[in-house]
Each structure stands twice: as structure tokens, then as C-alpha cells.
Structure 1
């Protein structure tokens, strides 16, 4: 059973597999598309990071007050601190991620076919394996970018040090801790982002098929190929569901990871120390600091990314 035959025939085939893509066009156009999405959503990451690392006595207690504080002191550029570092590393990391995702997803679909699962279950397993594998492959690039960019995001805020740029951050980290300093929180990043990616892609793949199945039972879809607007609406709704699911499950680990990565060199807290301080300051709710911006970020980023990604695949599909 495959994705094209098990879905109601009238809905048509909305997926484009890896072997049907023009790879060169996919990477070149994709770099531009995802850069645009990053520009649009980057400020949400800055706000989320500041909320997660703020000390107990900082006045800003919600996303709106953080935004007001940034605009008051730094203007619009303050919402893009660390952006240059992120973009520099995001392109190779995204190439690694998408290549691993697509190739692993195809292999995973073949692996689960003999088990005769329902299509949503098969999609959840295959997409989840693909998402986790892609995240594992890309962490080698993502983690150093995370460490540097997050320090830039919070510089001068809540007692954090100031830097002259990404290279200055990297130089000081290497001087203090060596190369391993750039991989601070790597283990937590792996156990945060890999499950998060697995949950996101599993939720997206499964929810999309459930929605298509429901639409397939409606009279107006039984004998017609779905419009591009319908396809995009289903993909967008799947992205929202995936973002909500992943953010609720993984925010506590993300909060611990972020705090570990941005603490000053002289403090060097352990993960246990971060956990104890969070509980002492805010109780268990401290683990969900920045949940609102993270939920919005994962849903908005996920939905924008998946629409751009699916559009990119249609744009780069080889002529039959």
C-alpha cells in the first residue's frame, strides 16, 4: 500500500517523492525560500529565547513586554540579533536536513509496508523516522549556530555579556572552553530536537492523511481533483497541528537546553543545576517559560515552512 493508491483516487496525488525532484533546483531555490521564512519569523525566536533565560527579577514577564523592551532599547534591529550567524549556518544545515528527511522517509515507507498499518499510522511512522534522522544529521551544524546566535539574542539582557558579533562570541567561547564550548548542550539538543522533529513530522504526515480521508467522503471531492487552495489548506492545517503537538511535548527540554547554552563561561551550570534553579524560581511551570512564543514559533514556522517546502517540491518536480 502506498500514499498514492490508498488515498481516495479523486483527491489525486499531492505528494512528490525524492526521486521526482530536480535536486540542483531544489537546493538553490530552497535556500532562497527558507531564508525568506526565517526573516519573517526570526523575531519570535529572539523573544522566546529571552523569556527562557530571564532571571527571576527581570520585569518582562510576557512576550509583549519583551518586544516593547527590545524596540525601546534597540529598535527593529534588536529583533534580529544573531540573524547573520543563523543564516550563515542555516543553509548547509537545511540542505543536510532536507536530504536526510526525504531519503529516510522513502526508505521508512518501504520498511513499514509489510506490516499493513493504516495509512495515517504508516505515514506517522515513516515521517517520524525521517524527521528524527534528519534532525540527528543536522545537529552537528545547528548546535554551534544555536550557541552563538542565542548568546547574541540575549546579550546585555538580564545580566548577560555583550559581544561585537558572531565571530567575537565564537572566539570567546573557544578561548574559554575550546571547540567543545560550541557544542554546549549538544546532548540536550539531540534529545530535544530529534524527538521534536519526529513528533512534528509524524503529526504532520498522519493528520494530513486523516484530513484527506475525511475530505474524500464529501460529495464535492469524490469525482474531482483537489484545487491548489485545498491542498495548501490541508498542508497548513497539518502544520498547525504538528507545531502544537511538538511544542507542548518538548518545551521543557528546550528551556533547559537554552539556559545551558547561554549561561556565562564562568558559571558553567550543569543540566541538574538549571533544573533546580528553574524549580526554585518558578516551580514546575518554569519549564514552560516561553511556551507561548515557542508554540507560535513552531506552528507559524512549521506551517510557513511546510507550505514553502511543498511549493518548492512542486516547483522543482521533474517533467514527466
Structure 2
């Protein structure tokens, strides 16, 4: 059938399964690629975190940036970066391994239901994204706690530290190991749905874009060019980032506030919500939406292009 052939030509050149990858090369080269992207986009995460705990004087990203540059200079935009990079490598290995293996299994599981291709992609990618995020949280949450404390240290009454190890030492001393997992439940509730929504949106939107371009129909069977593949993947990354940021920002705001609290402010999630709503109304839950939207769209697009390029680079010969 022509439509099946078109789909095979379009997706066969953009979808590379886990069993076709050189795993060693995938992990080594991937660590370098994603570290480079992290260097470029990390300041956006700092600004987003500062906005979520900002005083009334700093209600937008530009005022936060001005404040950081005024007090700390350019290095202020990279507070906590060393900690993030140290923990990102094992967390990313766990995430990507779970993502690819679960995605293959999920596609096989839903195949008998004969759903449309965008629906299959949304479900399989969503399940894979959620399971990958849950798997990586054991490593990611302590890194997140430490890095976010470093991001806001000395700001508006928050404690100061002498690097990531000092944060770990003080947190463990005051709260034990569980202190490094403060907000773990909310992190799972935030990042797992975020990851599920992101990968589901990416998988389904990419296929919808291909259909709009004529692939998957009886009229277009010409294999897509590399430029067209990159454009479709970029568009999918933007759609995924926009969708995920809009849906999950309130949970991220609550989680961030819980994680940067000092010992003198031991509030639960419900109390944090009450304070935000009391001070600013429901819009307070969307503090940092702009930077988070930009971060997730920019990170998502950059990440997915690097990720798809990495898979092509590490594909084994048949």
C-alpha cells in the first residue's frame, strides 16, 4: 500500500531503535553533546529558579538577570553548574536507557490495538518518557536540591554555601539523607508528567507534521531530505516544550519553593500553594513560566536535534 510505503520512507530515516545503536559510542559521545547544550542553556534555569522564589521587586526575567549580574557578574548565571554536570551524566544514562528500551516495549504492547500512527507514538513515547523520568529521579533529585540551593544562595535571606559538597554536608547534618530528597514526591509528580507530556507531544506532533508534508499519504513517496528531517524534529521539539511547560509549571514552582526552603521554614506543598495564592492569586503558581517555556522549548529543540543526530551517528551497520 502506498501510504505504508510512504510512512516507512519518512519514519524509517528518522526513527532509529535501541537495538541499532552502538551503546558505548552512544553514551560517550552523548555525554559530550548534552554537556555542551547544558553550558549554553543553564543560565535560563538559574533565572527560572530565582523568579520562582523572587521578591516583589523582581517580577520578570530581566530584573532577575540585572540583579544577578550586578551582584555576582556572569558567574552568577552558572551557580550550581558543577554540581549539575557531575550528576547529569549518570542520570542521563539511566534516563536514555529507560527511554529507548521502554519505548520499544510500549510500541509492541499497543500494536494489536490498531491505533493511528500519531496516537501510537503519543502513547508509546508518553509511557517511555514517564518511566525514564521515574528511573532517573533517584539520582536527579539530590542534584536538583543541591543546585537550586546554590542558585538562590545569599539571595533574599537564603543561606550561603561553599560549593556543592558544603550544601550536601549541611543538608545531611540538619535533615539526614532524606534532606537531599526534599520534594522527591513533587519531583516525581512534576518531572514524570512533564517527561510524559514532552515525549508524547514530540512523538505525535512529529508524525502529524510529516502527514501535513504529504508523508503517510498516497501522494508523496519521495524520501525526506536531511534538512526537512531537521525542520520537522525542531518543530516537534518546540511543540513539546510549549505543551509541557504550560501544563506542569505550577508543580515546578511548588517543588522549587519546597527545595530551597531553610530549616526555619518547614512548609508542606499545601502551605506553599496557600501562600502563593494569597500573595498573588492563582497566577503565582505560574511564576517563571516565561523562562521555563523558553528553557523547555530551547532545551527540547536543542536536545532532540542533538539526540537524533547522536542516534544517527551511533547507528550500527546492518
Bin the TM-score by the shorter chain: over 0.9
Match of 1:83 in 2: 81
Match of 2:196 in 1: 198
Match of 1:52 in 2: 52
The answer to whether 1:31 aligns with 2:31 is: yes
Identify the match of residue 250 of structure 1 among 242, 248, 251: 248
Gaps of 5+ in 1: none
Match of 2:138 in 1: 140
The answer to whether 1:181 aligns with 2:179 is: yes
- Structure 1 range deviating more: 116-125 or 260-269: 260-269
CA apart distance, 1:11: 2.8
Match of 2:7 in 1: 8
CA apart distance, 1:72: 1.2
Written as runs of structure 1 = structure 2, the 5 A alignment for 1:103-142 is 103-142=101-140
Q: Distance between the aligned counterparts of 1:288 and 1:312, measured in 2?
A: 34
Q: Is the 8 A contact 1:188 1:257 kept in 2?
A: yes
Q: Distance between the aligned counterparts of 2:134 and 2:127, measured in 1?
A: 11
The answer to whether 1:297 aligns with 2:295 is: yes
Match of 1:63 in 2: 61
TM-score (norm 2): 0.96
Structure 1 residue runs of 4+, over 6 Å off?
A: none
Q: Is the 8 A contact 1:108 1:129 kept in 2?
A: yes
CA apart distance, 1:224: 2.2
Q: Distance between the aligned counterparts of 2:271 and 2:222, measured in 1?
A: 59
CA apart distance, 1:54: 1.6
TM-score (norm 1): 0.95
Deviation per CA, 1:182-207: give whole Å up to 9, x if none. 00000000011001100000000000
Deviation per CA, 1:145-173: give whole Å up to 9, x if none. 00000000011112111111000111000
Q: CA RMSD in A?
A: 1.6
CA apart distance, 1:218: 10
Q: Distance between the aligned counterparts of 2:202 and 2:11, measured in 1?
A: 19
Match of 2:314 in 1: 316
Q: Is the 8 A contact 2:7 2:216 kept in 1?
A: no
Q: Distance between the aligned counterparts of 2:221 and 2:117, measured in 1?
A: 21
Identify the match of residue 280 of structure 1 among 269, 278, 281: 278
Name the SS of the counterpart of 1:8 in structure 2.
helix
Name the SS of the counterpart of 2:162 in structure 1.
coil
The answer to whether 1:17 aligns with 2:20 is: no
Question: In structure 2, do the counterparts of structure 1 residues 6 and 119 end up closer, same or farther at CA, with 3 Å as the change threshold?
Answer: farther
CA apart distance, 1:10: 4.6
